[in-house]
Every structure is written in structure tokens, then in C-alpha cells.
Structure 1
Amino acid sequence: MARIAIVLNTSWNIYNFRLPLLDHLRGLGYEILAVAPEDEYSHRIPYPFHHIPIKSKSLNPVGDLLLFFNLYRVFKKTKPDILLLYTIKPNVYGNLAAHLLGIKTVSNIAGLGALFINPGRVTKLAKWLYRLAMKVPVKVFFQNNEDMEMFIKEGLVSKDIAERIPGSGVDLARFHCSSDIVKKEGKFVFLLLSRMLWDKGVREYVEAARLLLRKRTDVEFQLLGFLGSDNPQAISKKEMDQLTASEGIIYLGVSDHVEAFIQKADCVVLPSYKEGVPRSLLEAAAMAKPIIATDVTGCRDVVEDGVNGFLCQPRDSRALLEKMEKMIGLDGRERTRLGNNGRDKVKKNFDQNIVIEKYARTVRDTLVCGKK
């Protein structure tokens, strides 16, 4: 029985986003291992788990060298046949450790994060590490064409092993639309569903909310997602308390059942600076909710302006406000049209089964080639 190990920077990510893939691979007869930092979600992962500390926001070279040796140690001990690698540090150091041990890998570039949003000297180092590490995988999946084309153009990856997949995909059975898409009464509810990071556009969302609340009181602005994560852009609890001090702006905390909050919202918003393919927008669109996002990499893969929602300029709270007011001004029939178009788009292009099948085929082909 071939052994597959998945490596990520949080157990939360594995539990919330990768279990359908792992369950499918297990159903095909593969043995599954999970490698990630231990957190409150680790014990919920129904596969053998191996803790490894990863400090995502640390730039300490000693810490990164230690991560490399820890990954090498875990891989040598568990002897996986294939590694599924996600997020920056597992992609870089996991590939380098796997190369020394002769282990096949599949990388997933889900989004390039703060290093590429605000390029600098560290970005040059990250590109050099990517260029080195991306020589190892048998396949590198990208979640949008723009990131894939940039990696190929800058020589960070060979076009022969690069392939686009539709994000992480969406479970269409879980994220389904109700018969009553548009609420009949109550306040108009906007929802920002994301990890609470500054580069997700949280500041712009709150600024736009404050501006709109000065004009009308029949709206509510909600935020749902993790605070204080191991990320240089993370928003602290104290900062969130300050952001939500105004009446009408509410932080909802964290939930493993985000569909319940999406269902109660009238519009889901993501004013992000850059994305892979944003899961929150896919989930909202799958539930036939109209969406507003910034016109940036990843977001425009999901949002077609005027078709299933609206796009606005990034880092611009007044541009976001304009689109929010436009959304509120639509009648129920028009918002329903936007929502239904979004559901159709997700069903056609972002079903999680598309992603799962691409991974299953890559694993199968890699194992067959390895036996020759």
C-alpha cells in the first residue's frame, strides 16, 4: 500500500479544506499521514498525525534550517511514497528534504501572500528558494493562471510540470442554496469571511462600513474568521475590538460551520489585496449569494463584474463603499440573478471533485512511473 503524507502550516487547514481529498485517496487504498503544527484541530484529523513546528511569519534562517531538518527527520521516519505540499515553507523546505530522501512530491501554490503583495529584498530570497525547490516536484498545481504564468515567466517552475486547478474546490452538497435566496425583512447584512489579516482588506471593509453607517442604519457589517494567527499580517484581538467599536460592525468569532453565517448574509465581501482562489467567495457563490471583491489576482477568477457580483479597486474603502451601495440599491430579483449566476459558475468550474480527480490522477501516474 502506497503511503501519502500531506504537509501544511496548520492542522486547521487540513481539517477544514483537505479532508475530502484525503478521504478520497484513502478510499482508493492509499495510506494517509498528516504533518503539521499541532493545534486544537489536530486531534480531529482522522489519520496518523505528526507534529512539526512551523513559524510562518518568522524570517529567522536558523528557524528555517531547523524546520528543514525536522521535515527530513519526519519523512525519513515515516517513509512516504508521495508528499502533498501546501503553503510556502512546506513547499520550499519540504521539497528540499524530500529531494535528499528520493521522495516524490506534488506542490500546491495556493496564493503568494504578503511577500509578493509588498515585494522587497525578502521577496527576492523567496523567489530564489522557490526556484530551487520547484525543481523537485513531479507536479506543481496553481490556483490561478496569473500566479502560474508569473512563476513560469520568472523561471521559478518549468511549464512542463505546472498546471492550474480551480482552487480547493467547493463541496456543492454542503454549500447549497435555499429556495429563499433574498431575505424579506431586517437589516441588509454584509459578511467578510476570512482569516483576519490586514491584507484581506479588513481595514478597508471597516472604513467603508463606517462611512455607510453614517448614512443609514438598516445595514450590518459582520466579520468571521481567525484572529492572531501565525502570520505577519494577523489582526490581534485588541485591534479587532477597536475596529468593531462602532455600532453595526460585529466580529462573530470563528466557526467550523460557516455556511450558517453565509446563509444569513445578503452579500459576502472580500476586499483582499491578492489571493490564490478565495474559498470564502466560492462558498458564498455556491450558496447563490451575490459577492463583492477587489479586482486582483484570484478574486477576479471568481467574480465577474455585473454577472455574479461586483469588483472594486483594492486598498480603496470609498470604491468598496460605492459597490456596497450599488448592491443595496438592487431589487431582490436582480440580487437573485447575481446569486444564481454565481452558483452556476461554481458548479461548472469549481466543484471540489474536479480538484480531487486531478490529484488522484497525479498520484496514480506518479506511482506507476515510479515502478518502471
Structure 2
Amino acid sequence: MVNVTITSNTSWYLYNFRKNTILSLLNEGYQVIAIAPEDSYSKKLEDLGAQFIHVDIDQGGTNPVKDIKTFINFLKIYSKIKPEVVLNFTPKNNIYSTLASKLCKAKVINNIAGLGMVFINESITAKLARFLYKVSQRKSDKIFFQNEEDRKLFLDNKLADVSITDRLPGSGVDLTRFTLQPAADDGVVRFLLIARMLYDKGIGHYVDAARALKAKYGDGVEFQLLGFVGVNNPSAVTKPEMQAWVDEGIVNYLGVSDSVEEDIANVDCMVLPSFYREGVPKSLLEAGAMGKPIVTTDNVGCRETVDDGINGYLCELRSTESLAEKLELMIQTTHEQRLEMGRQSRLKIEREFDEQIVINKYLNAVKECLEDKEYVFVEQNK
């Protein structure tokens, strides 16, 4: 049985974002091995039918010793399980799993789901990351990008040859799970932001805009946050900071959820004022599929989800004033107009971001890699 390995920096990510990809690979008859740090979702991956292997990854850290250990651990795992094809997601996996995979003669398919702050900052850490991308990605057999700007950036910086690159519509969205769910007309306009609670995601601007709009509209508006808080990242919002905002009455913090569709169903608008280099944010795709208008930044990855003025609004990066202005436009729009914007969101997602498009591209890429391996084997043994 052909071994296809899939890796990420959390089991949570693999289960929540790549569950249907794993199921499709299993249905095609592949043995699927999931590699990630062990967490409460690791058992769920096994329940799908995948084998799970733990690996240590300091996902938000910059300690080179820990990263070298991650590379060595991948190398040990691949030397033992001998994967035919490795699918990598998230930055450190794209780098260290790729290098280890190639030493073990596996084919590699990487997914660049946004470039974070790597091509924005000029810190030593960012420069090192760019160097590691250049070394590792040139060894990949296929690289999927979630937006054209990231692909162009890679090509302009000679990080990969154009022949191995392709574009995906983000990570796609399961249109059977995320269905049209109009919000109730109860006199309250509810906004929701789903993301890791990072300042780079625009959380601070969202809170500041919420503070100003709550002062003006009172109980007629509600601002919600959902996602991991206090994560291992220099840009992380701390738990005391979140609690202070809640105590002030600015936002409602909903924690984390495996059923985000229930939270999305209850709101009038999804918001993400990110200035991080996104791929295409999953939360915006899921909200769009459920018929919600969107307010997000005119930023890489984010702007792909909005036809400005049709299914939502684009605001300026790092601007609380611009964000508040767009949110107020949504507040002043009638309920029926918001519903119509939401219907346009659903149509856009159906046209451009169906998860099945993503899954089919992965299945085809795996087959191409296996065919290439077979060809090389035959040529070497002539």
C-alpha cells in the first residue's frame, strides 16, 4: 500500500482544515500517516483511519536548536516509515519536513498558506526564514499557493521554479457543512472575528473600533471573538488582555470551537482586519459559504474573498479609523441588504472556493508524483 504522509504544526489543523483531504486519500486506497505535535485532536485523526505519529515543533519559536531537533526528528521518522509522498502544511513543516523527506527520497508537495511576516520584516529571524525557504522549496516537487501574490513573490525571489507551482482557492470550504444560514432580524448587529488571537491579525484594531462603535450604538451592536488566546507567538494577545476587554464590555470572547458553523450562523457579518500575509483565511471562506457579508483588509489573501461593495467591504491595513468606517457602513445597512450581501458571498464561494477543487488538485498531484517516481525507478534500472 502506497504511503502518503501529511504533516502540520498541530493535529488540530490537520483535523479541522484537512479532514476531507485525508478521507479522500484513504478512499483512493492510500495508507495515510499524519505527523504533528500530539494534542487532543490526534486521536480524532486516528479515528478517521490515519496512523498518527508525534513530532515536536516549536511552532512560534525562533530557537535554532529546537528547529534542528525538529529536522532530525522528521529525518528519523521518514527513515523508518519510508513515505512515497509527503504533503506539508504550515511554515516549519514546509521547511524541515521537506529537507528530511528529500534525504529519504520521498516526493514532496508543499502548501504556502500565506507568508506571515517573513517578507514584511527585515529582522534576522525573517532573513533566516527566507534563506531556509530558498534552500528547502527548490527541492519540492510541487508547491501550491493560495494567492497569486505569494506565488509571484516566490518566483521573483527565485525560491522555486514556475513549473512546480500551482494556485489553489485557499484551503477551500466544505459546502455541505457550511450552508446558507441567514441571521435573525432582532435589532442587534453582530460581528464575529475568528482567528488565532494575534495582534498581526488586527485584533487590536477590531477592539478599538468596537470600543468606538459600542459608545455610539450601545446594545445595538455586538462584537465577538473566537479563537486560541495566549498562543506561542510574539504577536499573541494574552489571556489577561482578553479578560480586560471582556470586563470592559467591548467584546464577547467565545473561546474555541469545533462547531464554528453554530457561531457563524448567529452573526450578521464576519470581520478580519489582518495585516499578516494570509493565504486565504479559512474563517472568511466559511462565513461566506454561510451567507455572511465580510469586512476585511485590502491585504494579500484577504481581498480574494470580497468583491468590494457587493458581498462586503475592504478596509485599509493597520487603520482603526478605516475599519470602524466599514463596520459602521454595515451597521447602517438594512437587514435585507445585509442578507443580499450574504447571498452574494455564498455565490462567490460556490464559484471560486469549493473544497472539492482543492482535494482534486491534491489527488492529481499525488498521482503525478507517484508516476514520476515510477518513471525514475524504471529509467535507473534499464
Match of 1:228? 230
Once residues 363 and 254 of structure 1 are traced to their aligned partners in structure 2, the CA distance between those partners, rounded to angstroms, is: 33
Q: Which residue of the partner structure matches residue 269 of structure 1? A: 271
In structure 2, the residue matched to 1:39 is 39
Matches within 5 A, 1:81-96: 81-96=84-99
1:102, distance to aligned residue in structure 2 (A): 0.9
Q: Which residue does 1:80 correspond to in 2?
A: 83
1:203 aligns with 2:207: no
Question: Given the alignment of the two structures, is residue 300 of structure 1 paired with residue 303 of structure 2, yes or no?
Answer: yes
* Cα deviation digits, residues 185-214 of structure 1 (max 9, x gap): 142111011111111111000000000111
Which SS does the other structure have where 1:163 is aligned? Answer: strand
Contact 1:219 1:248 in 2 (8 A): no
2:11 aligned partner: 11
> What's the offset of the Cα at 1:230?
2.6
> By how many angstroms is 1:229 displaced?
2.1
| 8 Å CA contact retained: 2:84, 2:106 | yes
Which is worse superposed, 232-241 or 339-348? Answer: 232-241
Amino acid at match of 1:187: V
Does 1:244 find its partner at 2:239?
no
TM-score by length of 2: 0.95
| 1:321 partner SS | helix
CA distance in 2, matches of 1:184, 1:304: 24
Counterpart CA distance in 2 for 1:289 and 1:341 is: 9
Partner in structure 2 of residue 190 of structure 1: 191
The amino acid across from 2:185 in the alignment is K
Aligned residues: 370
Q: Give 2:261's aligned residue.
A: 259
> What SS does structure 1 have at the residue aligned with 2:9?
coil
2:118–2:130 contact (8 Å) kept in structure 1: no
TM-score normalised to the size of structure 1?
0.97
> In the alignment, residue 19 of structure 1 is paired with which amino acid?
K
AA aligned to 1:8 is S
1:118 to 1:243, Cα distance in 2 relative to 1, 3 A:
farther
CA displacement, residues 41-81 of structure 1 (integer Å, 9 cap, x when unaligned): 11111221111110012211111111110000011111111
Contact 2:155 2:161 in 1 (8 A): yes
Aligned to 1:115: 118
Letter in 2 for 1:259: E
Distance 1:308 1:321 in 2: 17
Residue pair 2:170, 2:281 contacting (<8 A) in 1 also:
yes
Show structure 2 runs of 5+ residues with no match.
376-382
Runs of 4+ in 1 over 6 A off after TM superposition: none
Q: CA RMSD for the aligned pairs?
A: 1.1
The residue identity in structure 1 corresponding to 2:268 is D
What is the CA–CA distance in structure 2 between the aligned matches of 1:322 and 1:77, rounded to whole Å?
A: 56
- Counterpart code for 2:247: A
Deviations along 1:138-174, whole A, 9 cap, x unmatched? 1000011100100000111111101110011000011
Residue pair 2:94, 2:110 contacting (<8 A) in 1 also: yes
How far apart, in 2, do the equivalents of 1:119 and 1:266 lie? 39
Tell me how far apart the structure 2 counterparts of residues 366 and 360 of structure 1 sit (CA, whole Å).
10
Provide the C-alpha distance between the structure 1 equivalents of 2:119 and 2:198, rounded to a whole number of angstroms: 15
Residues 183 and 267 of structure 2 are in contact (CA less than 8 Å); yes or no, is this contact kept in structure 1? no
Measure, in 2, the Cα distance between the counterparts of 1:278 and 1:231: 18
Distance in 1, Cα, partners of 2:198 & 2:62: 18
Match of 2:357 among 337, 347, 354: 354
Contact 2:7 2:34 in 1 (8 A): yes
Match status 1:155 vs 2:176 = no
Q: Aligned to 1:343, which of 319, 342, 346?
A: 346
Q: CA deviation at 1:121?
A: 2.5
Q: Displacement, 1:332?
A: 2.2
Q: Aligned partners of 1:157 and 1:232: how far apart in 2?
A: 29
Q: CA deviation at 1:323?
A: 0.5
Of 312, 316, 326, which aligns to 2:315? Answer: 312
Q: The residue matched to 1:4 in structure 2 has which SS?
A: strand
User: Which residue matches 1:167?
Assistant: 170
Aligned-partner Cα distance in 2 for 1:21–1:117: 31
Q: Could you tell me which amino acid in structure 2 is paired with residue 221 of structure 1?
A: F
Secondary structure at the residue paired with 1:152? helix
Given residue 171 of structure 2, which amino acid in structure 1 is its aligned partner?
A: S
Instruction: Determine the C-alpha separation between the residues in 1 that align with 2:183 and 2:213.
Output: 21
Q: Verify the 8 A CA contact 1:117 1:273 in the aligned structure 2.
A: no
- d(CA) in 1 for partners of 2:345, 2:318: 24
Secondary structure of the residue aligned to 1:113 is coil
**Paired residues of 1:140 and 1:161 also in contact (CA < 8 A):** yes
Q: Percent identity of the aligned residues? A: 45
The answer on whether the counterparts of 1:168 and 1:352 sit within 8 Å (CA) in structure 2 is yes
Contact 1:210-1:246 within 8 A present in 2 as well: no
Deviation, 1:248, is: 4.4
Amino acid at match of 2:204: R
* Cα offsets for 1:311-370 (capped at 9, x unmatched): 000111111110011001111232122111110110011000000000000101111121
Shift of 1:119: 3.3
5+ long unaligned stretches in structure 1? none
SS of residue paired to 2:247: coil
Name the aligned partner's letter for residue 209 of structure 1: A
**Counterpart code for 2:26:** R
Distance 1:224 1:182 in 2: 18
Q: Which amino acid aligns with 2:318?
A: R
